[in-house]
């Protein structure tokens, strides 16, 4: 191949590697957000009362139990959604990386 063409291919490979670094960083940041959500859920659930109070509950216990349950449901919804996004994004990232590696190996032969 001509030297000019090889230089262009090297530049393309470097740009692709930089893009993968950015995407991998985004994936790590999303994992950090998920860890923060898990810690926040643990913090909120410390006030959770697992006892079911029906009639003879002290004032405010039922309301507090309901508020905590609503908060936990909202946190769980976001946690499940972001976990699904994290897994799909990770699989796509791994697929792109494997494809690039396969193409790179084909260029060397």
Domain ranges of the chain: 3-47+57-108
**Residue 60: per-residue pLDDT:** 76
17 or 10, which is more confident: 17
**30 neighbors 82 (Cβ within 8 angstroms):** yes
Query: CA 68 → CA 52, 72, 91, 101, 108, distances in Å?
Result: 13, 6, 34, 48, 59
Residue 5 pLDDT grade (very low, low, confident, very high; cuts 50, 70, 90): very low
Does 6 have pLDDT greater than 60? no
- DSSP character string of 43-63: HHHTT---S---SSPPTTHHH
**Residue 72: per-residue pLDDT:** 94
Q: Coil, strand or helix: which one is 2?
A: coil
pLDDT tens-digit profile of 24-63? 999 999 999 999 999 999 999 987 777 766 666 677 777 8
pTM, two decimals, is 0.72
**Residue 91: per-residue pLDDT:** 96
**44 neighbors 72 (Cβ within 8 angstroms):** yes
**Residue 14: per-residue pLDDT:** 60
């Amino acid at each position: 191949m001509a030297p000019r063409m090889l230089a262009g291919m090297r530049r393309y490979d470097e740009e692709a590697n930089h893009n993968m670094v950015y995407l991998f960083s985004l994936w790590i940041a999303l994992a950090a957000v998920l860890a923060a959500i898990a810690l926040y859920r643990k913090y909120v659930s410390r006030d959770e009362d697992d006892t079911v109070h029906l009639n003879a509950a002290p004032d405010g216990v039922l309301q507090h139990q309901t508020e905590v349950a609503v908060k936990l449901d909202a946190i769980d919804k976001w946690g499940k959604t972001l976990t699904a996004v994290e897994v799909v994004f990770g699989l796509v990232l791994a697929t792109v990386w494997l494809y690039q590696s396969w193409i790179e190996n084909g260029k060397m032969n």
